[in-house]
Chain A
Amino acid sequence: MAEALLKVYRGDEKTGKLVDYKIPVEAGMVVLDAVHYIQGYYSPDLAVRWNCKAAKCGSCSAEVNGKPSLMCKTRLDDFDLSQPIEVRPIKTFPLIKDLVTDVSWNYEVNKTIAPFKPKTENTDEWKVYQEDVDRVQEFRKCIECFLCQDVCHVLRNHDKKDLVNKKDLFAGPRFMVRLAGLEMHPMDVANRIPYIKNEAGVGYCNITKCCTEVCPEEIHITDNAIIPLKERVVDEYYDPILKMWRAITGKS
């Protein structure tokens, strides 16, 4: 039977190292299977998150050979098995143990976003057409894997994550997607433009598109979410005529 050599990061914030594990390879095996094999036969205390094993829940994010990936979707036979496969935790968030990081920052950011506010409290079913929700549905596909947060250099290298002082904060691509989903919802009337400009710091994004490249849901994060949000901010803050028009007519 074919074998793979996995080098898996073991340790916590303070100390840690890559540990070698030899895994028998079955057809169609994914990295998460290999990690489970390690738990089952070598190291029962190896920490890892997972739930669905089908790329639906966004739990099993890690960096496989340096690439932010879902382990349940990354096949071993996509690699040259004569070389070791390196599995590390995602880097942008503080490490808890082994492959598990503290992603609670994301949940805190989410809380600061104004929730959906419907046009009407009418309890009848609404009339909303498919073509009006296609865009929003793309954003709502997000499985909160936070791979885009991991790869975005604004968070990864510049650490714009100060939620306490809310200074120089960047909410990150995941929450640009969420904001776009709310802003473009045909029945929503909340105004989040000042938030997007100030607290969420949309200006920090310089459209490198790295987030879009890693998104397992293939959401066009940059083109469909961030750029339109940037445009809305520009319209709101720098286009006085449009602004006045909006003040008279209501939203957009």
Chain B
Amino acid sequence: MANLNEKLETHECDVIVIGAGGAGLRAAIEAAERGQKVAVVCKSLLGKAHTVMAEGGIAAAMGNVDPADNWQTHFKDTVKGAKYMNHWRMAQLHAQEAPDRIRELERWGAVFDRTPDGKILQRPFGGHTYRRLCHVGDRTGLEIIRTLQDKVVHTPGVEVFMECTISHLLKDGDRVCGALGYWRENGSFVLFKAKAIVLATGGIGKSFKITSNSWEYTGDGHVLAYDAGAELIDMEFVQFHPTGMVWPPGVAGLLVTEAVRGEGGILTNSQGERFMSKYDPERMELSTRDIVAKSIYQEVKEGRGSPHGGVFLDISHRGAEYIKKKLPSMYHQFKELADVDITKGPMEVGPTVHYVMGGVKVDPETCQSNVPGLFAAGEVAGGMHGANRLGGNSLSDLLVFGRRAGLGASDYVKGLSNQPKVDDTDVEKAIQEMLAPLDRSEGETPYEVHRDLQRVMQTEVGIVRTEEDLKKALTDLKEIQARAEKVKADGLRQYNPGWHLAKDIKTMAKVSEAIARCALQREESRGGHTRLDFPEYSNHWSKHNSIIRKESDGSMTVSTAPLPEMPPELKKLFEEEKH
């Protein structure tokens, strides 16, 4: 093959950060400030990662609006929201460190909405006891990513490689030694030799049909880690955000921020009934996402849905001026895409795949996986959000653990006694795998396989699951995996989305298998995982995390690990409350 003789573009760095969302950028800043030479690689242009789309806010117990708030309460809310499935230490670090990370952003130039006395304003959100979400109207993610982006650009020691996709991680024995990628623009390959890797690739939503996620969310980091021998944890926990758009078809799944409910939005069914009073009379619309999503599912299933198969969400009672100030992008989104004026009438909403709680199993302090030198932070990492993530806790997670991953990677590099080496044959094999779809003379297009994969995941591994469906899903996924190995990519290597998708569907099919296997194993219902055949919490499962591993023969296995036990002083926090 001629291309193997091409001179391979090669870069050497201490730490390669894969991903330029909140987690990746924060990790890069930390590692560089600690003296490491850092390469940041991302699939889209800088500033376009998913983080830019976050709307509602970032959670931190600053106590600006409700002075009674503190890290202990944030910690408790997070653990309860997670249905006690998260790693207690991650939840603790997150609650303790989030306020510092916000103040730091402000010193880097971020401009949050303010309280009348000049502090950062905080709004209520589902599952948070106090008004806790720092925000900028409904474009909080934009503010955060722009601030980090500008910080990164002016941090010496960081180089950004944008529109470059990492396809393979490389190892030297047990530890990592680099990564191979391709430039989207011209399809040529590029090798990064690195001592440590930080994965910050985000989520998996594109395996489903109805999702708020972009094309980037193909589970790359999950599968790169898995293939490199890292364990994945709790992959069955997929968050269905209760409020996605349902109409018109082209925008189905697009997010309607929880801030609408935070600002007082009311959910009703076709009979005008405020149905949350049946499912969670205390918290109503501001119940946790898993509960609101399932309630909507139930209402629709029992025939009380809106014309397009959702329910109604109404904020118009807050008045036009207030809505346009606090929820401007929602106002425009509905006005321009659905011909609905939300200052005058209700929106139609229904559940949409939004976030994956499961991910790479990491050490809470350093974010290192079980593979030496491989770190993960942000949505791609698991353990922080357990069975259900609270709104606003992702953005804060990105900053807290992005920083910790940068720190962890930096310490790891400093502790290395010799430089790991890249094996040329690994690189050649990887390149051959990448080029195969272009060389095939016949085959399906990757788009066809992708549509089928999305259908399988949507209908068989969706918001409500059964043993029968999940078993069928695993059989269907096998077939899809086989088809994905044989697709043909038309055209050349130059900016070719079909070719890119040919690799992505293999990745999505693998991450989907991980989700289905964990979902089949967990015989209970908890948070983002609902089994019709096991509708209750189970005592056994309350003490176990799910673990996905790649065996030496290349097969995927699922098993369990005991949930790390909370130390007594933290447990006490929950007991005090009962009195």
Tell me which of B62, B114, B216, B496 contacts A51 (CB under 8 A).
B216
A223 to chain B, nearest CB (A): 19
Measured in the bound complex, the distance between the Cα atoms of B162 and A133 in whole Å is 31
B45 near A133 (CB under 8 angstroms)? Answer: no
Q: Which residue of B lies closest to A116 (CB)?
A: B109
CB of B52 within 8 Å of the partner chain: yes
B111 near A28 (CB under 8 angstroms)? Answer: no
Interface centre among B111, B329, B491 (most CB of A within 10 A): B111
A29 to chain B, nearest CB (A): 5
Q: Which residues of A contact B150 (CB under 8 A)?
A: 110, 115-116
Q: A56-B329, A110-B153, A125-B120 are in contact. Are A50 and B338 (CB under 8 A)?
A: no
Q: A44-B489, A140-B143 are in contact. Are A51 and B111 (CB under 8 A)?
A: no
Tell me which of A28, A102, A124, A128 contacts B118 (CB under 8 A).
A128
Q: Could you tell me which residues of chain A, from 14 to 65, have a CB within 8 Å of some CB in chain B?
A: 26-30, 33, 39-41, 43-59
A201 to chain B, nearest CB (A): 21
A28 near B109 (CB under 8 angstroms)? Answer: no
A43 to chain B, nearest CB (A): 8
Tell me which of A75, A128, A137, A182 contacts B136 (CB under 8 A).
A137
- Per-position binary interface string of chain A over residues 109-132, scored 1 when its CB falls under 8 Å from any chain B CB and 0 otherwise: 011000110100101111111100
Q: Could you tell me which residues of chain B, from 487 to 515, have a CB within 8 Å of some CB in chain A?
A: 489-492, 494-499, 501
Q: A45-B498, A49-B45, A59-B44 are in contact. Are A26 and B111 (CB under 8 A)?
A: no
CB of A185 within 8 Å of the partner chain: yes
Q: A39-B498, A54-B53, A100-B495 are in contact. Are A28 and B451 (CB under 8 A)?
A: no
Measured in the bound complex, the distance between the Cα atoms of B254 and A53 in whole Å is 8
Q: A58-B48, A126-B106 are in contact. Are A133 and B495 (CB under 8 A)?
A: no
Measured in the bound complex, the distance between the Cα atoms of B119 and A30 in whole Å is 40
Tell me which of B106, B107, B120, B445 contacts A44 (CB under 8 A).
B445
Measured in the bound complex, the distance between the Cα atoms of B106 and A124 in whole Å is 10
Tell me which of A51, A98, A110, A111 contacts B495 (CB under 8 A).
A98
A185 near B52 (CB under 8 angstroms)? Answer: no
Q: Which residues of B contact A136 (CB under 8 A)?
A: 111
CB of B251 within 8 Å of the partner chain: yes
A160 to chain B, nearest CB (A): 22
Q: Which residues of A contact B574 (CB under 8 A)?
A: none
CB of A205 within 8 Å of the partner chain: no
A123 near B250 (CB under 8 angstroms)? Answer: no
Q: Which residues of A contact B573 (CB under 8 A)?
A: none
A30 near B337 (CB under 8 angstroms)? Answer: yes
Q: Which residues of B contact A54 (CB under 8 A)?
A: 53, 251, 254-255, 329, 333, 337
- Per-position binary interface string of chain B over residues 324-354, scored 1 when its CB falls under 8 Å from any chain A CB and 0 otherwise: 0000010011001111000000000000000
Tell me which of A26, A41, A133 contacts B250 (CB under 8 A).
A26
Q: Which residues of B contact A30 (CB under 8 A)?
A: 250-251, 337
CB of B537 within 8 Å of the partner chain: no
CB of B142 within 8 Å of the partner chain: yes
Q: Which residues of A contact B415 (CB under 8 A)?
A: none
CB of A97 within 8 Å of the partner chain: yes
Measured in the bound complex, the distance between the Cα atoms of B112 and A125 in whole Å is 12
Tell me which of A39, A41, A137 contacts B111 (CB under 8 A).
A137
CB of B185 within 8 Å of the partner chain: yes
Measured in the bound complex, the distance between the Cα atoms of B450 and A41 in whole Å is 12
- Per-position binary interface string of chain B over residues 140-158, scored 1 when its CB falls under 8 Å from any chain A CB and 0 otherwise: 0011001000110110000
B332 to chain A, nearest CB (A): 7
Q: Could you tell me which residues of chain B, from 170 to 195, have a CB within 8 Å of some CB in chain A?
A: 185
CB of B79 within 8 Å of the partner chain: no
B154 near A133 (CB under 8 angstroms)? Answer: no
B111 near A140 (CB under 8 angstroms)? Answer: yes
Q: Which residue of A lies closest to B448 (CB)?
A: A40
B248 near A29 (CB under 8 angstroms)? Answer: yes
CB of A5 within 8 Å of the partner chain: no
CB of B281 within 8 Å of the partner chain: no
A97 near B498 (CB under 8 angstroms)? Answer: no
Interface size class of B (residues with CB under 8 A): 35 or more
Q: Could you tell me which residues of chain B, from 90 to 112, have a CB within 8 Å of some CB in chain A?
A: 103, 106-109, 111
Q: Could you tell me which residues of chain B, from 448 to 505, have a CB within 8 Å of some CB in chain A?
A: 451, 489-492, 494-499, 501
A49 to chain B, nearest CB (A): 7
- Per-position binary interface string of chain B over residues 420-461, scored 1 when its CB falls under 8 Å from any chain A CB and 0 otherwise: 000000000000000000000000011100010000000000
B146 near A52 (CB under 8 angstroms)? Answer: no
CB of A153 within 8 Å of the partner chain: no
Q: Which residue of A lies closest to B139 (CB)?
A: A141
CB of B277 within 8 Å of the partner chain: no
Measured in the bound complex, the distance between the Cα atoms of B255 and A53 in whole Å is 10
Q: Which residues of A contact B108 (CB under 8 A)?
A: 116
Measured in the bound complex, the distance between the Cα atoms of B216 and A140 in whole Å is 24
Q: A128-B114, A141-B142 are in contact. Are A96 and B495 (CB under 8 A)?
A: yes
Q: A56-B329, A127-B119 are in contact. Are A27 and B249 (CB under 8 A)?
A: yes
Tell me which of B45, B62, B214 contacts A103 (CB under 8 A).
B45
Q: Which residue of B lies closest to A146 (CB)?
A: B45
Measured in the bound complex, the distance between the Cα atoms of B114 and A7 in whole Å is 47
A125 near B62 (CB under 8 angstroms)? Answer: yes
CB of A238 within 8 Å of the partner chain: no
B61 to chain A, nearest CB (A): 13
CB of A73 within 8 Å of the partner chain: yes
Measured in the bound complex, the distance between the Cα atoms of B116 and A98 in whole Å is 50
A59 near B106 (CB under 8 angstroms)? Answer: no
CB of B263 within 8 Å of the partner chain: no
Q: Which residues of A contact B118 (CB under 8 A)?
A: 126-129
Q: Which residue of B lies closest to A73 (CB)?
A: B336
A106 to chain B, nearest CB (A): 9
A143 near B142 (CB under 8 angstroms)? Answer: yes
Q: Which residue of A lies closest to B451 (CB)?
A: A40
Q: Which residue of A lies closest to B150 (CB)?
A: A115
CB of A12 within 8 Å of the partner chain: yes
Measured in the bound complex, the distance between the Cα atoms of B327 and A104 in whole Å is 32
Q: Which residues of B contact A137 (CB under 8 A)?
A: 111, 113, 136-137
Interface centre among B45, B136, B248, B337 (most CB of A within 10 A): B45
Q: Which residue of B lies closest to A29 (CB)?
A: B250
Q: Could you tell me which residues of chain B, from 311 to 334, have a CB within 8 Å of some CB in chain A?
A: 329, 332-333
Q: Which residue of A lies closest to B493 (CB)?
A: A45
B492 near A45 (CB under 8 angstroms)? Answer: yes
CB of B226 within 8 Å of the partner chain: no
CB of A235 within 8 Å of the partner chain: no
CB of B279 within 8 Å of the partner chain: no
Measured in the bound complex, the distance between the Cα atoms of B178 and A139 in whole Å is 39
Q: Which residue of A lies closest to B251 (CB)?
A: A28
A179 to chain B, nearest CB (A): 12
CB of A144 within 8 Å of the partner chain: yes
B107 to chain A, nearest CB (A): 6
What are 6 A-to-B residue pairs whose CB atoms are below 8 Å?
A47-B495, A55-B332, A56-B52, A59-B48, A111-B154, A140-B111
8 smallest CB-CB distances across A and B, nearest first, come from A28-B248, A44-B498, A45-B491, A116-B109, A127-B118, A47-B495, A130-B114, A97-B495
Additional A-B contact list (10), CB under 8 Å, known A58-B48, A115-B109, A116-B108: A12-B494, A28-B248, A29-B248, A40-B451, A47-B497, A57-B53, A127-B118, A130-B113, A140-B146, A141-B139
